[in-house]
Amino acid sequence: GDSVTQMEGPVTLSEEAFLTINCTYTATGYPSLFWYVQYPGEGLQLLLKATKADDKGSNKGFEATYRKETTSFHLEKGSVQVSDSAVYFCALGGSQGNLIFGKGTKLSVKP
Protein backbone atom coordinates (compact mmCIF):
# COMPACT_ATOMS: atom_id res chain seq x y z
CA GLY A 1 0.00 0.00 0.00
CA ASP A 2 0.85 3.65 -0.01
CA SER A 3 3.55 4.72 2.43
CA VAL A 4 5.99 7.49 3.27
CA THR A 5 9.50 7.10 4.69
CA GLN A 6 11.39 10.07 6.04
CA MET A 7 14.73 10.37 7.72
CA GLU A 8 14.91 9.71 11.42
CA GLY A 9 15.67 12.56 13.71
CA PRO A 10 16.38 14.44 15.69
CA VAL A 11 18.34 16.80 13.50
CA THR A 12 20.34 19.50 15.26
CA LEU A 13 21.78 22.40 13.27
CA SER A 14 23.35 25.75 13.97
CA GLU A 15 21.60 28.90 12.81
CA GLU A 16 22.22 29.68 9.11
CA ALA A 17 23.13 26.06 8.30
CA PHE A 18 21.70 24.26 5.27
CA LEU A 19 18.85 21.86 5.91
CA THR A 20 17.84 18.71 4.08
CA ILE A 21 15.20 16.30 5.34
CA ASN A 22 14.83 13.26 3.12
CA CYS A 23 11.46 11.83 2.17
CA THR A 24 10.65 8.95 -0.17
CA TYR A 25 7.29 7.44 -0.96
CA THR A 26 5.61 4.32 -2.30
CA ALA A 27 2.32 4.76 -4.11
CA THR A 28 0.30 3.70 -7.09
CA GLY A 29 -0.09 6.47 -9.62
CA TYR A 30 1.15 9.98 -8.98
CA PRO A 31 -0.18 11.30 -5.70
CA SER A 32 0.07 14.85 -4.43
CA LEU A 33 2.93 15.32 -1.94
CA PHE A 34 3.05 17.56 1.10
CA TRP A 35 5.24 18.83 3.90
CA TYR A 36 3.53 19.74 7.15
CA VAL A 37 5.18 21.44 10.14
CA GLN A 38 4.29 21.14 13.82
CA TYR A 39 5.59 23.85 16.14
CA PRO A 40 5.81 23.01 19.86
CA GLY A 41 2.40 22.68 21.49
CA GLU A 42 0.47 23.18 18.27
CA GLY A 43 -1.32 21.21 15.59
CA LEU A 44 0.19 20.59 12.18
CA GLN A 45 0.02 23.18 9.44
CA LEU A 46 0.69 22.89 5.74
CA LEU A 47 4.16 24.11 4.76
CA LEU A 48 4.19 23.33 1.04
CA LYS A 49 2.84 20.93 -1.55
CA ALA A 50 3.41 19.65 -5.07
CA THR A 51 0.77 17.99 -7.21
CA LYS A 52 2.71 16.52 -10.14
CA ALA A 53 6.15 15.36 -11.20
CA ASP A 54 8.87 18.05 -11.35
CA ASP A 55 6.66 20.52 -9.46
CA LYS A 56 8.51 22.53 -6.83
CA GLY A 57 6.64 23.59 -3.72
CA SER A 58 8.01 26.50 -1.73
CA ASN A 59 7.10 28.55 1.32
CA LYS A 60 8.95 30.52 4.03
CA GLY A 61 12.31 29.75 2.39
CA PHE A 62 11.64 25.99 2.31
CA GLU A 63 11.56 24.08 -0.98
CA ALA A 64 10.82 20.55 -2.12
CA THR A 65 10.76 19.08 -5.63
CA TYR A 66 8.53 16.18 -6.70
CA ARG A 67 10.94 13.64 -8.22
CA LYS A 68 9.06 10.82 -9.91
CA GLU A 69 12.19 8.92 -10.97
CA THR A 70 13.48 8.64 -7.42
CA THR A 71 10.04 8.76 -5.74
CA SER A 72 11.33 11.49 -3.46
CA PHE A 73 10.22 14.83 -2.06
CA HIS A 74 13.15 16.09 0.02
CA LEU A 75 12.71 19.27 2.06
CA GLU A 76 15.47 21.90 1.86
CA LYS A 77 16.21 25.32 3.28
CA GLY A 78 19.33 27.30 2.59
CA SER A 79 19.69 29.03 5.96
CA VAL A 80 17.72 27.85 8.98
CA GLN A 81 16.69 30.04 11.90
CA VAL A 82 15.97 29.20 15.53
CA SER A 83 12.29 29.78 14.77
CA ASP A 84 12.36 26.83 12.33
CA SER A 85 12.72 24.41 15.24
CA ALA A 86 9.75 22.07 14.88
CA VAL A 87 8.72 18.61 13.76
CA TYR A 88 8.41 18.18 9.99
CA PHE A 89 6.11 15.60 8.41
CA CYS A 90 6.19 14.41 4.83
CA ALA A 91 2.83 13.16 3.51
CA LEU A 92 1.13 11.88 0.39
CA GLY A 93 -2.44 11.86 -0.81
CA GLY A 94 -3.61 8.27 -0.50
CA SER A 95 -5.73 6.39 -3.03
CA GLN A 96 -8.75 6.57 -0.69
CA GLY A 97 -8.72 10.37 -0.61
CA ASN A 98 -6.97 10.43 2.76
CA LEU A 99 -3.53 11.74 3.74
CA ILE A 100 -0.71 9.38 4.73
CA PHE A 101 2.04 10.79 6.95
CA GLY A 102 5.62 9.84 7.58
CA LYS A 103 6.82 9.50 11.17
CA GLY A 104 8.11 13.03 11.43
CA THR A 105 11.58 14.52 11.82
CA LYS A 106 12.35 16.78 14.74
CA LEU A 107 14.57 19.75 13.91
CA SER A 108 16.37 21.77 16.57
CA VAL A 109 18.23 24.90 15.52
CA LYS A 110 20.78 26.34 17.96
CA PRO A 111 21.73 30.03 18.00
Partner 1 sequence: EAQVTQNPRYLITVTGKKLTVTCSQNMNHEYMSWYRQDPGLGLRQIYYSMNVEVTDKGDVPEGYKVSRKEKRNFPLILESPSPNQTSLYFCASSGRSGWEKLFFGSGTQLSVL
Applying CB under 8 A, the residues found at the interface with partner 1 are: 31-32, 36, 42-46, 49, 89, 93-94, 96-104
Rounded Cα distance between 89 and 22, Å, is 10
- Smallest separation (angstroms) from partner 1 to the CB of 79: 26
Contact 101, 3 (CB under 8 A): no
Beta-bridged to residue 62, according to DSSP, are 59, 77
- Smallest separation (angstroms) from partner 1 to the CB of 37: 11
Residue 35 amino acid letter: W
- Smallest separation (angstroms) from partner 1 to the CB of 16: 28
Contacts of residue 40, Cβ cutoff 8 Å, sequence gap at least 6: 85, 86
Contact 21, 105 (CB under 8 A): yes
Q: Which is nearer to partner 1, 17 or 99 (CB)?
A: 99
- Smallest separation (angstroms) from partner 1 to the CB of 88: 11
Q: Which is nearer to partner 1, 74 or 102 (CB)?
A: 102
Q: Which is nearer to partner 1, 2 or 76 (CB)?
A: 2
